[in-house]
Amino acid sequence: MNRTPAHACDVLIVGGGPAGSTIAALLAAQGRSVVLLEKARHPRFHIGESLLPANVELFERLGIRDQIDRIGMPKWGIEFVSPEHSHCSYIEFADAWDKSMPSAWQVRRSELDELLFRNAAVRGAQTLEGCKVTDVVLDAEGATVHAELDDGAHRSWRARFLVDASGRDTLLASKLQSKKRNPDHNSTALFGHFTQAERLQGKLEGNISICWFEHGWFWFIPLADGTTSVGAVCWPYYLKTRDKPLREFFHDTIALCPELARRLEGATLVDGAVHATGNFSYISSHATGERYVMLGDAFTFIDPMFSSGVYLAMHSAFDGAELVATALDRPAGLRAARKHFESNMRKGPREYSWFIYRVTNPTIRDMFMHPANPMRAKEALLSLLAGDIYGSTPFWGGLRAFKAFYYGISLANLRRTWAGWKRHRVNIRDVGPLKGETIHKPDPA
């Protein structure tokens, strides 16, 4: 490739999703020269439409809460539906340890991501869409980044600091060969959008529903425009059995969850479109270097059951902005800043993963279907589910109590626990590539 002259900037950010757009807005507001590159053009489709109450403060700090209000469906809690129980369980964020975080939103990601991207431009970042990074060269002074625009033109930048917010493309983790697949969780998602789905009534209408079934779990996410996002997160062995078109297989899968099937009896699949995507969890060995940082899914990805993706991405962007400022303005403090950042990047995924790994276990399922509050364990669990994990709310003792109850109940039902553990080990086994699956592979770098 013929290299074009490199344009200079303080910070170059790869990826215009929630993490990249957030850190671009924050750094540009500091008066820095910021370039934000997005390979697609907004609005573009993305899954992950459910937000957490902890997102509210971040939107307020970005000055866009009112705009989120206009595009979002209020979400006050979570419904759990189990095939092994005759009732549905409802929990509300207002019952968490901190009562000041009662709600969040369901949003179309195409709208949310564009709103965040445009806000970065308003704050002073130079934003480019249809600009795909083709090569990155790191050195002790920064990074040289080469990209191709969707009209075929080539551009290059010389940045003092590089931010990788490339999501599941994992630009730097793939280049540095630091990405490791998580062997303890292995699943694939099927999803589509429906009109005329039957929703909960009144205040509960915007709640996310988590519906277990034999081969995994479903999400049911009502959106403000009247459509409902429905997806099945399945174990790979189940997807391997598909012997019919994806749309038919998706409808057959829905039929395996009677309550969900009932709610979709009169519903219509929008454009007849069903998507399948690899949902393999992974983590990089590190998130930072002397002149770079990885944010959100560019560093790690976990199962989306608890809707933590957008929050963890945006929170990493706020922490990342502080790290970049330290690297550029106070390099003597960079070592300590990197250590703190690395710890925070692992904290959220670690706390959520404990539940994700066990959420199909019958003990956890019973605890979710019959939530109780001894030693404030329910309040602590709701604080975690609300995303209140980086603040000062003292709920960790209650969460330890919840885990102690889990282990105690598991020991009291040892045969059931052993059977559940064996079933989980079978479920997560690697069965190879799946027919019709879109695996998120890294772009060449």
Transcribe 211-226 into DSSP letters. Answer: EEETTEEEEEEE-TTS
What pLDDT sits at residue 1?
Answer: 44
The confidence score (pLDDT) of residue 421 equals 82
Mark out the alpha helices in 72-217 (DSSP H runs): 109-122, 171-175
Provide the pLDDT for residue 351. 95
Sheet with 282-284, strands from edge to edge, namely 179-181, 282-284, 300-301
Look at residue 350 in the predicted model and tell me its pLDDT.
95
The fold for domain 77-105+187-279+360-445 equals D-Amino Acid Oxidase; Chain A, domain 2 (3.30.9)
pLDDT in tens, the chain (445 residues): 455 678 999 999 999 999 999 999 999 999 999 999 999 999 999 999 999 999 999 999 999 999 999 999 999 999 999 999 999 999 999 999 999 999 999 999 999 999 999 999 999 999 999 999 999 999 999 999 999 999 999 999 999 999 999 999 999 999 999 999 887 777 789 999 999 999 999 999 999 999 999 999 999 999 999 999 999 998 888 888 899 999 999 999 999 999 999 999 999 999 999 998 876 789 999 999 999 999 999 999 998 889 999 999 999 999 999 999 999 999 999 999 999 999 999 999 999 999 988 887 889 999 999 999 999 999 999 999 999 999 999 999 999 999 999 999 999 999 988 888 887 777 776 655 544 444 333 332 2
CB atoms < 10 A from the CB of 371, how many? 16
Residue 33 CA: distances (Å) to CA of 69, 126, 156: 30, 8, 15
Domain 6-72+107-181+283-351 sits in CATH 3.40.50.300: no
- Overall size of the chain counted in residues: 445
321, 23 in Cβ contact below 8 A? Answer: yes
* The pair of three-digit structure tokens given for residue 273, joined into one six-digit string: 């479109």
Q: Give the separation between CA 300 and CA 26, rounded to whole angstroms.
A: 22
Confidence at residue 186, expressed as pLDDT on a 0 to 100 scale: 73
Q: Where in the chain is the domain with CATH 3.50.50.60?
A: 6-72+107-181+283-351
Q: Locate CATH 3.30.9.100 in the chain.
A: 77-105+187-279+360-445
Residue 71 CB neighbour total at 10 angstroms: 18
pLDDT score at 441: 35
Strand partners, 133: 147
